[in-house]
């Protein structure tokens, strides 16, 4: 009887217990959600804190520093500019490749001006819950305004400031668009307190950003932060070499010459890697060999334990000898090293250093580069009578260069052999016809075939030097620039004057030598 009454009581109150339990869970969920929505913890650094980034610590980006000097001056002395009727920039967009020092520049502006520094990532404003990112932006700007004059730095602004879809979309898209709209509102709100807070943002690709973000009155100034030139690279190397013992044979000026295109982050990493290599070897200073090895690891990869067969080593030796010899014959930047030791995905490689930084290349120079890329395959077919799969990366680069020449640079060929080369052809535009795309393919293929014929003819005319290079590579595995120059000097070079012709003269010369 008692058990029956207990059972009836439980059945009667079971729905009530269920409702109370669900209400308790909902209450806990709302409290937890409310405690996190809108709250963000931006990295907050005061100019008086330890280890600030000083203006002189930022090396190799002098043009960008000049653009930002007046921003720091405005934050430090706003009255001087206000007396002239000048309006401060609302925002500054730093754009350029990764590792060029955009974050360091933003920190240096805050330190130079003596103001507070707030940093946040663009991805932190894009959350699953719609409205959460916008609330974080409001909180960030509120805290910055509360501190007085300050710098807000938004890294990777592409995550929140990309082109809007123009529709509702899914939850992630709506959240990102709401966060972007809130950022635009905050930038417009600077009219209330001009000059007190300046936003500095960083992007690797300015083309991805929404037009509304880039219009005057929001991000007024766009500053390119490009990879450093030779003097800039040397300054960066000397800055990061402070406190690191260098051997007498390590010349940082020469290192700067050989590292064209490298960013400040890559140079700093190379010096650190060289110090690790020296320490692993038990040395107390970094030698030239240590830094050369570090640079090779960055460019190609670390040495691999793959064992090649005798035939494979011979093929790789002739392949790399073809690359090195063609560079010499075509008068390009001389090869610094030839190696048939597998590194990373490569079975061998030829490294070269530019004589000087260059930003423009002629049509003939590009064709020389293409011929050099194809010289490895040409050497295989010249010696073995067939080709091998090791040239896949070379062929991919040839395809890219030739297609750019035909479609972007206006350096193609006249397919009817009667008119001038075609103009640049925007193949990414969907309005381009199939016939135009076919013309681009034919023009790029014609350029590649002509370059291959020249490479094959050059190697045929200098077969003895090619054989000598391959033999030394098989014996020593790695040849330095001095060793390569000795081999080149021991042979009479043929065909240097006809490098930009059709190759017929070189083919005739090669036949005469065989006869």
What's the token pair of residue 356?
A: 């000087």
Contact present, 376 and 392 (Cβ < 8 Å): no
Handedness of CA 211, 214, 215, 218 (dihedral sign): positive
| Cβ-count burial 333-342 (b if 16+ within 10 Å, e if not) | ebbbbbbbbb
User: Does residue 486 carry a catalytic annotation?
Assistant: no
Q: How many CB atoms lie within 10 A of CB 255?
A: 23
In order of 122, 146, 175, 199, the CA distances from 139 in angstroms are 14, 10, 16, 15
Q: What are phi and psi of 115, to 5 degrees?
A: -120, 170
**Cβ(350)–Cβ(337) under 8 Å?**
yes
User: In the beta sheet, which residues pair with residue 222?
Assistant: 93
Report d(CA 33, CA 27) in Å as an integer.
Answer: 10
Quick check: 134 and 176 in contact, CB under 8 A? no
Write down the residue that tokens 């090619």 correspond to: 466
**Residue of 320, 369, 380, 382 with catalytic role:** 320
Nearest to 343 by CA among 306, 382, 378: 306
| Residues belonging to the active site | 320
């Amino acid at each position: 009887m008692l058990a029956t009454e207990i059972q009836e009581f439980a059945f009667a109150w079971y729905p009530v217990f269920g409702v109370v339990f669900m209400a308790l869970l909902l209450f806990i969920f709302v409290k937890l959600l409310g405690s996190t929505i809108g709250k963000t913890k931006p990295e907050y650094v005061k100019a008086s804190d330890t280890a600030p980034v000083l203006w002189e610590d930022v090396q190799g980006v002098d043009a960008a520093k000049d653009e930002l000097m007046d921003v720091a001056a405005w934050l430090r002395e706003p009255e001087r500019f206000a007396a002239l009727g000048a309006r401060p920039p609302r925002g500054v967009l730093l754009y350029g490749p990764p590792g060029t020092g955009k974050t360091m520049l933003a920190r240096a502006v805050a330190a130079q001006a003596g103001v507070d520094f707030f940093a946040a990532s663009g991805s932190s404003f894009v959350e699953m819950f719609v409205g959460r990112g916008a609330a974080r932006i409001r909180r960030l700007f509120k805290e910055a305004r509360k501190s007085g004059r300050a710098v807000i730095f938004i890294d990777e602004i592409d995550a929140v400031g990309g082109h809007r879809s123009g529709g509702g979309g899914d939850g992630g898209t709506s959240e990102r668009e709401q966060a972007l709209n809130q950022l635009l509102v905050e930038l417009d709100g600077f009219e209330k307190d001009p000059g007190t807070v300046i936003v500095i943002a960083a992007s690797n690709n300015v083309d991805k950003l929404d037009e509304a973000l880039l219009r005057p009155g929001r991000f007024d100034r766009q500053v390119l932060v490009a990879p450093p030139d030779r003097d800039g690279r040397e300054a960066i190397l000397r800055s990061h070499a402070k406190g690191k013992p260098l051997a007498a044979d390590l010349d940082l000026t020469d290192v700067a010459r050989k590292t064209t295109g490298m960013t400040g982050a890559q140079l700093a990493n190379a010096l650190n890697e060289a110090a690790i290599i020296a320490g692993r070897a038990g040395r107390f200073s970094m030698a030239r060999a240590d830094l050369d090895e570090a640079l090779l690891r960055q460019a190609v990869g670390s040495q691999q334990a793959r064992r090649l067969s005798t035939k494979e080593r011979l093929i790789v030796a002739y392949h790399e000898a073809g690359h090195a010899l063609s560079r010499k014959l075509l008068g390009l930047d001389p090869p610094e090293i030839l190696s048939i030791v597998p590194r990373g995905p490569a079975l061998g490689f030829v490294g070269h250093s530019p004589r000087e930084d260059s930003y423009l290349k002629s049509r003939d120079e590009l064709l020389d580069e293409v011929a050099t890329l194809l010289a490895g395959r040409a050497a295989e077919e010249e010696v073995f009578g067939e080709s091998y799969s090791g040239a896949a990366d070379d062929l991919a680069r040839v395809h890219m260069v030739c297609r750019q020449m035909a479609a972007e640079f206006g350096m193609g060929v006249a397919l009817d052999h009667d008119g001038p080369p075609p103009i640049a052809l925007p193949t990414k535009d969907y309005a381009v016809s199939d016939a135009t795309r076919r013309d681009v393919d034919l023009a790029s293929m014609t350029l590649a075939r002509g370059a291959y014929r020249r490479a094959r003819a050059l190697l045929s005319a200098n077969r003895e030097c090619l054989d000598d290079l391959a033999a030394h590579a098989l014996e020593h595995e790695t040849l330095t620039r001095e060793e390569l120059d000795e081999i080149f000097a021991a042979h009479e070079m043929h065909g240097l004057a006809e490098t930009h012709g059709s190759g017929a003269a070189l083919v005739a010369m090669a036949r005469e030598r065989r006869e």
